[in-house]
Amino acid sequence: MGCVIAGGGPAGAMLALLLARAGVEVTLLEKHGDFLRDFRGDTIHPSTLQVLDELGLAGEFLQLPHRKARSLSLVSDRGDIKLATLERLPGRFRYMAFVPQWDFLKLLTSAAGRYPGFRLLMNAEAYDLIREGGAVRGLRYRDGSGEHEIRAELTVAADGRHSVLREPAGLRAEELGAPMDVVWFRLPRHQDDRDDTFLRVSPPHMMVAINRESYWQLAYLIRKGGYDELTGQGIDALRRPVARLLPWLADRVGQIEGFDDVSVLTVALNRLRRWHRPGFLCIGDSAHAMSPVFGVGINLAVQDAVAAANLLAGALRSGAPIPESLLHRVQRRRMPPTRITQAAQRLVQSRVITPALTRRLDPTRLPRDLTRIPVFKRVAPRFLGQGVLPEHVRVKEL
C-alpha cells in the first residue's frame, strides 16, 4: 500500500485527495464518525481557493453556502477599525471565504472518493506505529470492531495539535507558548444583526463573532488555563461580558443556560524540530500547532499537503521505499513559512492579546484605518490572504 494518513482535517484530507488523484493508493483515517464536531476554523484563504481552482474544484466549492470577507475589522468601543483589505491581491480570489469546515472536508473527501485508490475509514483512531528494521511501516488503529494494522510505504501524521503519532516516532514538539484559550458557543442570529465576521476588543475582553447566517458562532478569549476560574464564577461571568461587548445580543445571552452549552478549546503554539523518520512524516498542526491568531492554520495545513504531494507522489506511485531525504525536503520547504507565521502570531499574542486580556491595551488609540499605513497596505493582505510561500499543485492527475 502506498500511503496511510491519520487525521481527516484540512492537512490529511487535502493530501489524501492529491495523492489519490495522482494514482497513489491512499487510506485516510478519521477518529470521529463525521466532520461535524467542535470548532475547526471556518476560513478558506485566497491561496487555498487557488489550490481548489488548480484541482478544478473551485466552482463546486463556491456552490457551498459561504460568505466572502473582502476586509477584516476590529470593533473597539469607539467603532470599527479596518485592519486589512484583500481587494488588491493579485489573482482571481480577492476575498476570504467563510465556510463551516465540515463542508470543506466533505468536499475534499468526496472529490478523493472519485479516484479508485482512495479509501476513507471513519471512526478509526490511529494509536501506534508499526516499526520494523529502523523504519515506520504503517500504523495501528482501533474502530468499533477492534484493533487493526495498515501497512504502507509512507505513514503520515495529520492528526492535529494533540497528535498521538509523534510520540511513538520519537518526535517532540518545542512549545512556543500561547497566552489564551477560547470559549466557544453559539447564539441565534437575527436578520437585522450586522452581517460580517469580526473581532471585538474591549479590554480585558476579546471575542470573535462568526456569522453563520441563522446563528452567531462566538469565541470568547480567556487567559490560558482560566476556564476553571470562569466556571467557578457561574454562567453569568460569561453572559455579562458577552452582553457588554455585543449589546445587540443582550436579549439572547440567557440562552447560554450553563457551561454544558459551551466548550473550551485549548490553544497551542508549537513545532517539531524534525518532521520525519524513515517512512513517516508529520504535516499540518501535528508538525506545527498554530494559534488562532490571523486564522491561518487551515491554510498552512493545506499548503503543507500540497508541498508533500508535489514532492512525494512520484516516489509513492513507483512503489519503492521513500528516501528519508525526500521527506526532509518537505520539512525544508515548509519550515520557513511555519517559522515566519508563528513568529507573527507570537508577536500579536504578546503585543495585543496579553495586553488586552490584562487591560494594558487601549484599542481606541489605534488608527481608524490600518490599511492606509503603507506597510499594512502592502504586507497584511499577502500575509493573511496568501500566506508565506504559497504552494501550487504540480502533481498531475492520473
Which residues here bind ligand FAD, judged by CB under 6 A? 6-12, 29-32, 39-43, 125-126, 158-161, 164, 182, 265, 267, 284-286, 290, 292, 295-299, 301
Least distance CB 299 / ligand FAD (angstroms): 6
Q: Which is nearer to ligand FAD, 23 or 43 (CB)?
A: 43
* Cβ at position 221, least distance to ligand FAD in Å: 9
Choose between 23 and 197: whose C-beta lies nearer to ligand FAD.
Answer: 197
- The nearer residue to ligand FAD, 23 or 291, going by C-beta atoms, is 291
Pick the closer one to ligand FAD by CB: 53 or 125: 125
Residue with cell 471565504: 97
User: In angstroms, what CA-CA distances link 26 with 2, 164, 168?
Assistant: 6, 20, 22
User: 40 near 160, Cβ under 8 Å?
Assistant: no
Report the residue number, 66 or 161, with the smaller CB distance to ligand FAD.
161
CA proximity to 69, closest of 205, 194, 219, 214: 194
Closest among 207, 214, 266, 210 to 239, alpha carbons compared: 207
Q: Which residues of 291-324 are buried (b: 16+ CB within 10 A; e: fewer)?
A: bbbbbbbbbbbbbbbbbbbbbbbebbbeeeebee
Distance CA 39, CA 354 (A): 23
Closer residue to ligand FAD (CB): 23 or 349: 349
User: Which positions ≥6 away from 372 have C-beta within 8 Å?
Assistant: none
Q: Cα separation of 165 and 171, whole Å?
A: 9
Question: CB of 213 within 8 A of CB of 189?
Answer: yes
CB of 127 to ligand FAD, least distance (A): 6
CB of 45 to ligand FAD, least distance (A): 7
243, 253 in Cβ contact below 8 A?
yes
Smallest separation (angstroms) from ligand FAD to the CB of 16 = 11
In whole angstroms, give the CA distance from residue 88 to residue 346.
Answer: 26
Q: How far is the CB of 225 from ligand FAD (least distance, A)?
A: 14
Distance, CA of 35 to CA of 32 (rounded, Å): 7
Judge whether 104 and 44 are in contact, CB under 8 Å: yes
CA dist., res. 98 & res. 66, Å (int): 6
Which CB atom, from 290 or from 306, has the smaller least distance to ligand FAD?
290
- Can you tell me the distance from the alpha carbon of 59 to that of 82, in angstroms, rounded to the nearest whole number? 30
- What is the C-alpha radius of gyration for the chain, rounded to an integer number of angstroms? 21
CB of 166 to ligand FAD, least distance (A): 11
In whole angstroms, the minimum distance from the beta carbon of 226 to ligand FAD comes to 14
> Would you say 45 or 252 has its CB closer to ligand FAD?
45
Hey, what's the cell of 21?
488523484
What is the nearest approach in angstroms of ligand FAD to the Cβ of residue 19?
Answer: 15
Comparison of 340 and 369: residue with beta carbon closer to ligand FAD: 340
Q: Please, are residues 283 and 156 in contact by the beta-carbon 8 Å criterion?
A: yes
Q: How far is the CB of 334 from ligand FAD (least distance, A)?
A: 12
Question: Judged by CB, which is closer to ligand FAD: 103, or 369?
Answer: 103
